[in-house]
Amino acid sequence: MKIIGEANRGHYVAIISGDEIEKAFDKFCGKMPAIRVGDTINLAQGYDFRNDIQRVCHSMQESMRHFSAAQHTLQQFAMMVADQTEDNGEQK
């Protein structure tokens, strides 16, 4: 996007590619309707990547909390399996 003018305070005139608009709305590969001269597009209503990232991070934290609770049991199980393999004469 290239700003080519200022219409008034906080409002700009810009040249922006169709690809840039599609990316702002997460509408790649023709998923966005055709744009015509005079159309109004509110870029502030674009796809909310920040919300997705926050949701995924919270989900990861919750998963780690559950894994931490089971970690000791999983380690004990792995050690038991390793000991049985060693007792049976099989290779590790």
From residue 42, how far is each of 3, 14, 46, 61 by CA, in Å? 16, 13, 7, 33
Report the pLDDT value the prediction gives residue 62, as an integer from 0 to 100: 93
- Select from 54, 56, 23, 21 the least CA-distant residue to 40: 21
| Spans of all domains in the chain | 2-45, 48-92
Among 1-10, 23-32, 55-64, the minimum mean pLDDT is found in: 23-32
Query: What is the value of pTM for the model shown?
Result: 0.44
Instruction: Check residue 59 and give its pLDDT.
Output: 95
pLDDT band for position 58 (cuts 50, 70, 90): very high
12 band by pLDDT with thresholds 50, 70 and 90:
very high
Greater confidence (82 vs 85) lies with 82
